[in-house]
Structure 1
Amino acid sequence: MSKIEIKNLNKNFKFGKDKILKDINLSFDSNKIYGLFGENGAGKSTLMNLIADYTFPTDGQVTLDNENVHDNDKALSKIYYMNQNNMYPKNEKVKKIFELTKSIYKDYDVQLQDKLVKKFQLNIKTRFNKLSTGYKSIVKIIIALCVPCEFIILDEPTLGLDARNRDIFYRELIESYSEEPRTFIISTHIIEEIDKLVSNVVMIADGKVVLNDTSDNIRAKAYSVNGPMDLVSDYTKDLSVIGKESLGQYVTIDVMGSLPNKKVPSGVKVTKIELQKLIVNLMNKDGANDN
């Protein structure tokens, strides 16, 4: 089974000693869907660029099946990176871009491409630079789902897409993954839309990995405790608090870890936290710690 491993990786800013990424150690296993989360500037795009060999680490390395990906055509042929930059010829028609991609990838799925073109209602005779932001994303999405690569990295794949086309994308991604499992690494700020989709979660804050676990494990240890302030505060006093909201004498405290081995007080309600709220809480917590 193929695996991408990131070992002791550091990346400095171009003309400085300050680090964008700090001692990153991660692995991305075969046939899983990862959510890669973090605030703008946290280092997500830099990490994705390093995996795809678009930029180079200051220290450490990225390997695929124990081979360094840098200048390694064999390894890089297994990785496809859909990013926010427009890397296609601006004046080229979409049809020509598809043909060019097909000529590069031997087992490119033309049948799936044609199906997606119809579903997204994409006019392939349009020049790429004449497309809206959403339809530029759609062209990239179609290619990402059709290339025969084992690792697909998607950076804000739904940028500019309306609700209908976002729904098509997620449905087609699930169907494509079910028919031909491979690894997807999805970075997005619309966390609630991929909450039930991802099997693993990686979160980066201030250039460091602050969360790396299966989504099931994360959900199993993240809770909201709601009720009268005094009762909730007492019940959660020894827990790891990641968020707090107050409304009059009532409070909601979000915690991460094991719940106390004692009875929940009458009038206090304990519920699981949705992934979106959990990630936002952790972002705010790390941001508060930095100040």
Structure 2
Amino acid sequence: MSYHVEFNNVSKKFKNFEAIKEVSFKLEHGKTYGLIGRNGAGKTTLLSLLASFQLPSSGQISVNGEDPFENRRIMSEINFVYEVDYSNEYDTVTDYLEATESYRPNFDQEYANKLVELFELPLDKPIRDFSTGMQSALNIILGFASRCPITIFDEVYLGMDAPSRELFYQEVIEEQNRNPRILILSTHLVSEMDYLFDHVLILNRGEMMIDESFDQVIQRGASITGDAGVVDAFAAPFNILNSQQLGRTKSVMVYGEINAEKQIEAKRLDLEIGPLALQDLFIHLTKKERSHEA
């Protein structure tokens, strides 16, 4: 069954603080979403609303047209995976996986066992004695093996070393091919993970700044390099995110589509046009917004 999610003007307030401000977006089956934002942008609050951990202050959230809050059938199909304190967990991995299978209707024990081997987790060691990286791997296994139609990973891979993170990234690709679902990756590791995203959601101070496909976002940003005066004139119509100059050579980052006509003009003016990484766009877009509001 295909699932779809819709947020319609959703806000969440905590006393006098508004963590989420009239956010609207849609999530579609089979897509991997990158949820990006600075610390305090509201990412975890937004995800906890989707997972029905709390109610919105205003607006509507729907999953397949239904309100998910206290909806047992829908809530069982959403898995919000985040860092867990296992300091008092004396069970082994085997015990923990068996317990999880009892309340996750789509849980795949065989797949979970394969992931345990992949991440090299010991089966007979209490989880409380695992390293931080091993505990992160366990969270990832629980997220994948649940095979929930809506699976959310909220920074659960930060405790893992680079080779283990790479195993996780590869599994994202392979599992989406095997068993497509709505998969949300909330992350600060943008430069490592951007190739996984079909769609990008950028939150800034509780507001949705970007809600576009990965390709659309990347096409909106570019670097322009050349003679300083020529660069300034060419870049004037665009939203300039950042600029650097060395002697007469200047390079600027812009946010705005450089169409075919502008590409031809840039070549005539002996300007070099290059792509921007998603991380560069994210850093400078949110920095500019913060500077403007200060």
Please provide the CA RMSD for this pair.
Answer: 1.7
Aligned to 1:196: 195
2:86 and 2:127 in contact (8 A); partners too: no
SS in structure 2 of the partner of residue 195 of structure 1: helix
Change (3 A) 1:275 1:103: same
Superimposed CA distance per residue, residues 157-182 of structure 1 (whole angstroms, 9 cap, x where no aligned partner): 31111111011111112111111111
Q: How far, CA to CA, are the matches of 1:87 and 1:23 in structure 2?
A: 35
CA-CA distance at 1:30 after TM superposition = 0.8
Q: Does 1:155 align with 2:158?
A: no
Q: How far, CA to CA, are the matches of 1:106 and 1:44 in structure 2?
A: 27
Instruction: Choose 169-178 or 39-48, whichever is displaced more.
Output: 169-178
1:36 and 1:187 in contact (8 A); partners too: yes
Return the TM-score normalized by structure 2.
Answer: 0.93
Q: How far, CA to CA, are the matches of 2:84 and 2:25 in structure 1?
A: 25
Return the TM-score normalized by structure 1.
Answer: 0.94
Superimposed CA distance per residue, residues 36-80 of structure 1 (whole angstroms, 9 cap, x where no aligned partner): 000000000000011001122111122101111111111111111
Aligned to 1:139: 138
2:202 and 2:210 in contact (8 A); partners too: yes
Superimposed CA distance per residue, residues 192-240 of structure 1 (whole angstroms, 9 cap, x where no aligned partner): 1221111000000011000000011112221111122212111101112
Mapping of 1:22-101 within 5 angstroms? Answer: 22-86=21-85, 90-101=89-100
Mapping of 1:92-131 within 5 angstroms? Answer: 92-131=91-130
CA-CA distance at 1:266 after TM superposition = 4.0
Unaligned runs of 5+ in 2: none
Q: How far, CA to CA, are the matches of 1:207 and 1:96 in structure 2?
A: 39
Q: How far, CA to CA, are the matches of 1:10 and 1:132 in structure 2?
A: 37
SS in structure 2 of the partner of residue 170 of structure 1: helix
In the comparison of the two structures, how many residue pairs are matched? Answer: 289
CA-CA distance at 1:89 after TM superposition = 5.6
SS in structure 2 of the partner of residue 12 of structure 1: strand
Mapping of 1:224-263 within 5 angstroms? Answer: 224-259=223-258, 261-262=261-262, 263=265
Q: How far, CA to CA, are the matches of 2:6 and 2:87 in structure 1?
A: 29
Aligned to 2:9: 8
1:10 and 1:57 in contact (8 A); partners too: yes
SS in structure 2 of the partner of residue 178 of structure 1: helix
Q: How far, CA to CA, are the matches of 2:105 and 2:11 in structure 1?
A: 35
Change (3 A) 1:24 1:157: same
Unaligned runs of 5+ in 1: none
